[in-house]
């Protein structure tokens, strides 16, 4: 056998290797293309489901927002005819409702991660909530009002509204500019909502959400129209600031005994005691919040001239009343005291009725039986 034959056979078999490699590459390419097609189909299905989910949840939020928008428009058209408590409640409701809608919109966007579409949807309702907060701050700051405390939470005060009677009020121009800016933010949210709505409708799944617009009449939020509303609010009697703190009740313990025959009618006689207590309920019968409503207590001895004082300060919303902590004073039996309870009248309060009361209290002398069986005021322990 010739030694060259094996080499020739090897040369004949060598072309099979490139054919095998090309076949393997073709198989791999087919598998890769098929896998990519599968991923694409799955991705499209996921996007369609996400779009429809956002549309379903977004429809609920949008319908709630439309109802809040109607309330906001109605309030803007009737600002001058409101009274202070009713106006504050209406503003607080708008802020609370729009804030709730923003929270729900954000939750819907997070549950369906759709990039700019989801982020835009959440931004729409965040802007609306911010606009209502700005509107309330502007009106409260102009009229000197405060948001009502929410039950079960600590009372907070809007920075723009200040602290009631001691706040620096916004000027008419400042209030106008802030309300007009709130309207501009609403108009921006309406435009963004339209963009999101179109994007959902044309994306996979063809998600549909209802129309939602807060600014149906741009003129209502224009600076000129807002300035006119501010002027009407300033002259509306129902929106005038009225300060009126009053003592609702004043109770002294122990209670007075029946006036003895021939006794002075203006002197209350108390049973023998070493302490008297004064309980007060303070009321805010005005139309503005009183963040520093203060009551002073004074007990003065007519014998020695010695005086004891207490002070209690509370924050009272319009129309609210509150029982103050009990004020206790040490007294001596057989002594007469003048007790005075008075309210620090806030600036602007012209009605003085019920802001101060005074009592003359005669503390009875303690009595006991003497060793001879006679009534005595000397009750020292027997030896």
Contacts of 364 (CB under 8 A, 6+ apart): 257, 269, 270, 271, 272, 333, 334
Residues, the chain = 383
The answer to whether residues 51 and 204 touch, using CB atoms and an 8 Å cutoff, is: yes
- Please identify which residue in the block is written with the tokens 């072309």: 15
Distance CA 232, CA 27 (A): 81
Q: What is the pLDDT of residue 26?
A: 54
- Please identify which residue in the block is written with the tokens 């070493």: 274
Distance CA 374, CA 4 (A): 156
| pLDDT tier at 151, thresholds 50, 70, 90 | low
pLDDT tens-digit series, residues 228-284: 999 999 999 989 888 899 999 999 999 998 877 776 788 999 999 999 999 999 999
Helix (H) or strand (E) holding 363: strand 356-363
What is the sign of the dihedral through the CA atoms of 140, 226, 101 and 115?
negative
Per-residue pLDDT at 287 exceeds 80: yes
Closest to 180 (Cα-Cα) out of 131, 140, 144: 131
| DSSP codes, 226-256 | HHHHHHHHHH-GGGS----EEEEEEEEESPB
Question: Which range, 5-14, 162-171, 268-277, 358-367, has the best average confidence (pLDDT)?
Answer: 268-277
Phi, psi of 311 (to 5 degrees): -140, 135
Burial class (CB in 10 A: 0-12, 13-18, 19+), 168: exposed
Predicted structure pTM score: 0.64
HEC string for 304-337:
CCCEEEEEEEEEECCCCEEECCCEEEECCCCCEE
Per-residue pLDDT at 12 exceeds 80: no
Average pLDDT, integer, range 327-331: 97
């Amino acid at each position: 056998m010739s030694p060259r034959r094996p080499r020739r056979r090897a040369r004949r078999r060598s072309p099979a290797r490139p054919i095998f490699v090309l076949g393997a590459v073709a198989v791999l390419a087919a598998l890769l293309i098929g896998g990519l097609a599968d991923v694409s189909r799955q991705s499209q299905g996921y996007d369609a489901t996400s779009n429809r989910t956002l549309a379903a949840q977004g429809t609920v939020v949008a319908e709630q927002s439309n109802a809040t928008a109607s309330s906001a428009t109605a309030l803007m058209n009737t600002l001058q005819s409101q009274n202070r408590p009713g106006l504050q409640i209406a503003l607080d409701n708008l802020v609370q409702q729009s804030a709730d809608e923003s929270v729900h919109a954000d939750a819907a966007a997070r549950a369906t991660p759709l990039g700019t579409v989801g982020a835009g949807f959440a931004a729409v309702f965040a802007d609306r909530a911010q606009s209502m907060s700005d509107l309330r701050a502007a009106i409260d700051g102009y009229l000197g009002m405060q948001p009502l405390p929410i039950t079960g939470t600590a009372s907070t005060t809007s920075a723009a509204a200040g602290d009631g009677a001691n706040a620096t009020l916004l000027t008419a121009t400042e209030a106008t500019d802030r309300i007009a800016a709130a309207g501009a933010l609403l108009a921006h949210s309406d435009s963004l909502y339209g963009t999101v709505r179109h994007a959902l409708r044309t994306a996979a799944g063809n998600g549909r959400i209802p129309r939602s617009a807060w600014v149906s009449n741009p003129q209502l939020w224009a600076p000129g129209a807002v300035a006119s509303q501010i002027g009407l609010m300033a002259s509306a009697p129902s929106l005038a600031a009225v300060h009126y703190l009053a003592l609702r009740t004043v109770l002294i313990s122990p209670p007075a005994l029946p006036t003895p025959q021939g006794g002075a009618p203006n002197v209350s006689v108390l049973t023998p005691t070493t302490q008297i207590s004064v309980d007060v309920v303070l009321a805010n019968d005005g139309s503005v919040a009183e963040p520093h409503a203060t009551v002073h207590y004074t007990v003065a001895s007519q014998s020695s001239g010695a005086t004891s004082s207490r002070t209690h300060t509370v924050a009272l919303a319009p129309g609210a009343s509150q029982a103050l902590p009990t004020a206790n004073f040490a007294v001596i039996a057989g002594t007469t005291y003048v007790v005075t309870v008075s309210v620090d009248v806030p600036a602007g309060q012209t009605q003085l009725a019920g802001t101060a009361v005074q009592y003359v209290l005669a503390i009875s002398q303690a009595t006991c039986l003497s060793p001879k069986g006679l009534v005595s005021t000397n009750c020292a322990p027997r030896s």
